[in-house]
Copies of this chain bind each other. A is one copy, B any other.
């Protein structure tokens, strides 16, 4: 299977987009009405703030697409779908503290609107709510789901630790980068697919391939996001522009440039980026001149092709859903 070969036409894309938007709206509705106590308000107000943020809700959508295409009812899938989004929200809240990001999804980050302590605690509670919600799933595979869920969370922590460690280094190779974003982003997309399948069919033979599929998708998505940080405008991204580059993050385009430089020149390139992190045009032209964006987008396509290849062994319904998902959600962003 190749997600690029089939041009399903404009109508088909419109129809799929409407379907995903409908799903996202349903998830948003359930997040906005998620049952939470009123007090202590110092805990629950920030949590509510984080839950009504705009988001693409890709992870719960993915879980529902996989679960439904394997025969589970939407109602049965919703606790795990919400749990995935709660978990994702927790990681954003804590990552924003650690990365000192000030904007997220077009609004001040939680630790900016309140303070670090409030954000630490709200994140902890979100993680807890994620578990509690997951545990409400009626499934004979509930223990395995709990283990997969916490294993994914642990790898997200590992990915964040690697990311912070990489900031202090002057060189990171593409392999290390892929491992880091695989843990930080890919693992959760894989978990979304895996949970959908486990709820539908605990004996599904596609579990391992679905985990790998999510991994590749996450790696592709993160590289695409790294490129968008350079090429897109701030409003569209909804987060501080070049904040990653200013922080010394080794994004994929940065790594592409570093790999072509001698050891001595790497530090001066990283200094150049930090010094010019408020000048969009300079940064962008520097990356374009060095072909770093082109190489990065080539890697995105390669990873998406690998993800697509993994689909071929899966039941046909899952193949169709997931290749539509890649085509509609991923390609429209690039």
Contact = CB atoms under 8 A, between A and B. Distances in A.
Interface in A149-195: 149-151, 153-154, 157-158, 160-162, 164-165
Contact of A120 (B40, B120, B128): B120
A150 B128 contact: yes
B117 A98 contact: yes
Contact of A135 (B40, B120, B143): B143
Contacts of A160: 121
Contact of A97 (B120, B153, B157, B165): B120
A162 B129 contact: no
A142 B137 CA distance: 12
A321 interface: no
Interface string A86-128: 0000000010011000000000000000001100110111011
A169 B307 CA distance: 55
Give the number of times this chain occurs in the complex, counting copies: 2
Contact of A128 (B98, B123, B143, B154): B154
Contacts of A157: 43, 121, 124-125, 128
Contacts of A153: 124, 128, 131
A94 B143 contact: no
A133 B147 CA distance: 8
A74 interface: no
A308 B222 CA distance: 56
Contacts of A37: 158
Contacts of A149: 131
Contact of A98 (B120, B150, B158): B120
Given A120-B97, A135-B146, A136-B147, A161 B128 contact: no
Contacts of A117: 97-98, 164
A315 interface: no
A143 B146 CA distance: 9
A157 B46 CA distance: 13
Contact of A154 (B123, B129, B135, B136): B129
Given A43-B157, A43-B161, A142-B146, 9 more contacts: A40-B158, A98-B117, A120-B120, A124-B124, A124-B127, A125-B157, A129-B154, A131-B146, A136-B143
21 contacts: A40-B161, A94-B124, A98-B117, A98-B120, A98-B121, A121-B157, A121-B160, A124-B127, A124-B153, A124-B157, A127-B127, A128-B150, A128-B154, A129-B150, A131-B131, A131-B149, A131-B153, A132-B150, A135-B143, A135-B146, A135-B147
Q: Which A-B residue pairs are the 7 nearest by beta carbons?
A: A135-B146, A132-B150, A43-B161, A131-B150, A125-B157, A128-B153, A40-B161
